[in-house]
Chains A and B, each alone.
Chain A
Amino acid sequence: MSLSPASGIGRFYKHSAKIIRFVRLGCANRPFYHIVVMERRKNQHQPVIEQVGSYDPMPNESNERLVALNTERIRFWLGKGAHMSEPAAELLGISGLLPVHPRTYMTAWRNRRAAAEAEAAETETSKVDTA
């Protein structure tokens, strides 16, 4: 599958609904997302209007996930009334460009609870072992 250029080769219709979302590229078990502005009702692999960033969900050697955002163009398209997909909105919330998405708070809360429960279970088992 060939990558489309950043300036996009999709047809532009002035009054159609646009959306900022991910296009999953990469290989099997190795995703890599392009953050892209395109027509909302098209398939993610159809030609896009413009690429405004990238997101690598696999952590690198310094244990970081790298995201590139073309903030100027994202603000332009949001100003023109583009929608956002939920993962894209979450990512922009984490970055600080937009307010944090409630889903991110929910995930954080659930992770903390799971971690606390796991810790509690561990202390229980260690108590049982020592006793």
Chain B
Amino acid sequence: MSLLRHFRKLSVEHTRRTLAGSASSNTRQYDKDPQPLFTDAETQRLLQNMTQLQLDKVFRKRTVSDNSTETKFMTTAQLEKEFLQTIVKANKLLQMPPVVKVKEDAQDALITKDAALKDFADTKYVFTDITFGLRNSERKVVVRDVDGSLSYASLDTRKRMNQLYFPLDGRRSYTPRMFSKPELLQRCLEEHKYEFVLDRLTVQYEPYELEFHQISARVFEHLMESKQFDLLRSTRHFGPMAFFYAWHRCIDDLLYDMIRQDYLHNAVELIALSYKIHQIPVDYKQTLGQLDALQPTPGQRALAELRNCLKKPQEQHIQDDIQAAIGKTEQDFAADEISLKFIEEYIGGEHALKKVQLELAVQTLKELNLEKLQLYQGLKKAHGVQASSS
């Protein structure tokens, strides 16, 4: 209780759009409803592929209230099942926050007008329906005003009542200072705490609220300048971030980062996404199909990584050793050929903005790949490994 006394001093601003100045006008907003394009199956697949499944990052050490561990003896079959369950759990943790348009208060909120009830009390009455089993979005919240009219509550009041009677873990009933004061948010972004800010945003605000859109846009724009995309890679926010860049035609920074880190498949997917969103008539499906045939999905890759732990050392072939040393397989080299062609087409086209930078990156990568290929072929020849016919 004494802790609560101290918190009376914190500002309790319940009105919407109380974000101080700078965020509102400068950040990019979605002009149309982004939801149909975002929920499209192909878009979701592209975004999921771009958000790679790095098990180390998804299952990183988190602070938990209960630190007890469990040790089990398992057969190989049970272990295999556990691996599949792990991939399912990882996908759950990578669930993307919805990208929907900003919801406005309904215009026809009035239920009845009753002039005979004017001045029946000196304050409003807010009635919340706490029926068990209802969703928070479907709960009825009505307000009887002092002038006697009964109307449905505004979105702001609804959120407050839902938080009061059915509190969400981690959500505060006041606006956290991090979100209400722009200088504190700026400080967080400068210290590169992007994942923390976005996680807190998903908990504090609903995805259809204006503040959610404004602050996440601010974060993505800052991220674009600082180019620390690796911090968000393999988190649930990477998908909405890539979608944001593709929508607002600023994929070049992310593309450059992907090319530099040799994620060419992801680079192709990002370009394909931007073609899809802006309905540019380039055929990307064929390239994507070829690449999908050659390279495994993130889920399959993670599963292979898990199964690797079970492999006995004498089962390792020379081929695997060479591939582990170089970091690429035969199929990777073939896929890179296709990807680079597609990326160069994009750079040559009219939609790329930072052509020089991207050209340089592609050039560097090509040289690197050539060296790796030569090394790979040399090693294979040296160890007498047969050329694989796949």
Contact = CB atoms under 8 A, between A and B. Distances in A.
Interface string A93-108: 0111000100011011
Interface in A59-105: 59, 61-73, 94-96, 100, 104-105
B269 to A, nearest CB: 47
A118 to B, nearest CB: 12
B119 to A, nearest CB: 4
Contact of B129 (A63, A65, A69): A69
B128 A68 contact: yes
Contact of B127 (A67, A104, A107): A67
A107 B120 contact: yes
A62 B126 CA distance: 11
Interface in B124-142: 124-132, 140, 142
A47 interface: no
Given A66-B164, A96-B142, A108 B116 contact: yes
Contacts, number: 79
A105 B112 CA distance: 15
A72 B132 contact: yes
Dominant secondary structure of chain B at its interface with chain A: mixed
A52 to B, nearest CB: 9
A59 B124 CA distance: 9
B120 A63 contact: no
Interface residues of A, number: 27
Contacts of A108: 116-120, 148
Contacts of A64: 123-126, 143
A96 B111 contact: yes
Nearest to B148: A108
A87 to B, nearest CB: 13
A105 B144 CA distance: 14
A65 B128 CA distance: 11
Contact of B120 (A61, A73, A94): A94
Contact of A71 (B111, B131, B144): B131
A111 B120 contact: yes
B152 to A, nearest CB: 11
B127 A100 contact: no
Given A64-B124, A66-B164, A96-B150, A53 B119 contact: no
B123 A59 contact: yes
B121 interface: yes
Nearest to B150: A96
A112 interface: yes
A115 interface: yes
Contacts of B114: 100
Contact of B124 (A61, A65, A96, A100): A65
Contact of A65 (B121, B130, B131, B161): B121
A109 B124 CA distance: 17
Contacts of B111: 96
B334 interface: no
A115 B147 CA distance: 14
A53 B130 contact: yes
A105 B117 contact: yes
A69 B130 contact: yes
B117 A104 contact: yes
Contacts of A107: 120-121
A67 B124 contact: no
A70 B129 CA distance: 6
Contact of A62 (B14, B127, B131, B165): B14
Nearest to A53: B130
A113 to B, nearest CB: 10
B150 to A, nearest CB: 5
B109 interface: no
B12 interface: yes
Contact of A94 (B119, B129, B130, B144): B144
B129 A71 contact: yes
B132 A70 contact: yes
A15 B37 CA distance: 60
Interface in A29-68: 53, 59, 61-68
Contacts of B118: 108, 112
B132 to A, nearest CB: 7
Query: Among the interface residues A70, A71, A95, which one has the most CB atoms of the partner chain B within 10 A?
Result: A95
A120 to B, nearest CB: 16
Interface in B172-204: none
B125 A104 contact: no
B124 A69 contact: no
A69 B130 CA distance: 6
A96 B121 CA distance: 16
8 contacts: A65-B123, A66-B128, A67-B126, A69-B127, A71-B131, A108-B116, A108-B148, A115-B119
Q: Which 3 A-B pairs rank lowest in CB-CB distance, beginning with the nearest?
A: A108-B120, A95-B127, A111-B119
